[in-house]
């Protein structure tokens, strides 16, 4: 048998080595493929699931003296329909109800408190009569602080904002910290009826002068959806049976443009209880006012549910 030529042997060895290298490469590629399959540059990574943020509902309660009892009916009706309020702002009479509600009281507790309230317990005549107001307002301040056990605004169960007007600058101020009774007293200090309230070197009067229904402040406090409650009388239907009613009518007329602008721009829903027959000085009709608030919510409920559902969908 002839020995194979050296060149043939080298060629065979080269082919065998090449086959071994190719086999090894193929195995390596196959094993790598099992661990990390290639991804096309055009393939997007899977989206990261983010939980939907809950919609924050704000309740803005407007001014209107004794007509403010209607706010309690609104709260009762919203709770009965499982509408949860996250933040609450109030002006004048609305600030009284807002403070009590923000403290953790539900609609029924507010209703009970309203029926037990003695008008004399929140009235303190300035004797001798002051040239700046007939009432001091201290009685109202003490009533709130006693009822709330001196809880400051920032310690409430719900975020609370109380609107007043700086007497000298004419600017609105939103109280979100400090003595609750004092802030409410400032918000309710109707000029020429209540004496201005001095806080931190500034004097404050009724918040209704600059924000009759504080929808913009509920929005400022973080509300995504604002329910505004307007209890002011329409000028053409308002009862003017007393000097107080005439003064209220004057402020209603002055605040019409401000109120309409604020509600149109910042409120998602406006609830207007039917209170045309009720005077702002008539504390004897508190039951009728509460019922009017409940009925107003019932009328607006289809629209409220539709608008809230749309907002919830946009947050999903």
For 167-313, strand residue ranges (E) read 172-175, 192-194, 197-199, 202-206, 225-229, 269-271
From 89, 92, 95, 279, active-site residue:
92
Average pLDDT over residues 154-158: 98
pLDDT in the model for residue 238 = 58
Structure letter (DSSP) for residue 191? B
pLDDT tens per residue, range 46-78: 665 555 678 999 999 999 989 999 999 999 999
pLDDT tens per residue, range 223-232: 999 999 999 8
279 included as an active-site residue = no
Residue 9 has pLDDT above 90, yes or no: no
Residue 164 has pLDDT above 60, yes or no: yes
pLDDT in the model for residue 36 = 45
From 86, 206, 224, 268, active-site residue:
206
Average pLDDT over residues 229-249: 74
CA distance 216 to 93: 17
206 included as an active-site residue = yes
CA distance 194 to 188: 8
Average pLDDT over residues 26-48: 47
pLDDT band at 87 (very low <50, low <70, confident <90, very high): very high
What tokens were used for 50? 């983010």
Lowest mean pLDDT among 2-6, 82-86, 251-255, 304-308: 2-6
Average pLDDT over residues 226-243: 77
pLDDT tens per residue, range 286-308: 999 999 999 999 999 999 999 99
Residue 209 has pLDDT above 60, yes or no: yes
CA distance 261 to 42: 50
pLDDT tens per residue, range 117-151: 987 777 766 545 555 666 788 999 999 999 999 99
Average pLDDT over residues 79-92: 97
pLDDT in the model for residue 4 = 47
Average pLDDT over residues 184-205: 93
In total, the chain counts a number of residues equal to: 316
pLDDT in the model for residue 172 = 96
Spatial CB neighbours of 138, under 8 Å, sequence gap ≥ 6: 124, 185
Which of 214, 179, 202 minimizes the C-alpha distance to 89?
214
**Phi and psi torsions of 284, nearest 5°:** -75, -15
pLDDT band at 38 (very low <50, low <70, confident <90, very high): very low
């Amino acid at each position: 048998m002839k020995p194979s030529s050296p060149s043939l042997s080298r060629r065979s060895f080269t082919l065998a080595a090449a086959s071994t290298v190719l086999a090894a490469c193929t195995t390596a590629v196959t094993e790598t493929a099992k661990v990390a399959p290639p991804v096309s540059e055009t393939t997007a990574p899977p989206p990261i699931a983010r939980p939907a943020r809950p919609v924050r509902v704000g309740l803005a309660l407007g001014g209107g003296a004794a007509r403010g009892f209607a706010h309690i009916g609104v709260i009762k009706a919203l709770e009965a329909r499982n509408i949860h309020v996250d933040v609450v702002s109030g002006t004048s009479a609305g600030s009284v109800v807002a403070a009590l509600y923000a403290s953790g009281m539900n609609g029924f507790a507010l209703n009970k408190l309203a029926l037990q309230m003695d008008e004399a317990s929140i009235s303190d005549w300035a004797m001798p009569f002051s040239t700046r107001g007939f009432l001091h307002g201290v009685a109202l301040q003490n009533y709130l602080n006693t009822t709330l056990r001196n809880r400051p605004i920032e310690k409430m169960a719900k975020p609370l904002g109380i609107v007043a007007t700086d007497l000298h600058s004419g600017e609105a101020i939103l109280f979100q910290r400090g003595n609750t009774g004092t802030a409410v007293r400032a918000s309710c200090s109707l000029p020429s009826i209540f004496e201005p309230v001095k806080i931190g070197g500034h004097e404050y009067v009724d918040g209704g002068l600059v924000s009759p229904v504080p929808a913009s402040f509920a929005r400022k406090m973080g509300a995504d959806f604002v329910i505004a409650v307007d209890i002011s009388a329409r000028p053409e239907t308002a009862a003017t049976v007393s000097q107080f009613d005439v003064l209220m009518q004057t402020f209603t007329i002055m605040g019409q443009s401000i109120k309409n602008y604020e509600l149109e721009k910042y409120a998602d829903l406006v609830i207007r209880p039917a209170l045309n027959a009720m005077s702002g000085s008539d504390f004897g009709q508190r039951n009728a006012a509460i019922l009017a608030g409940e009925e107003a919510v019932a009328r607006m409920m289809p629209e409220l549910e539709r608008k809230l559902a749309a907002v919830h969908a946009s947050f999903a």
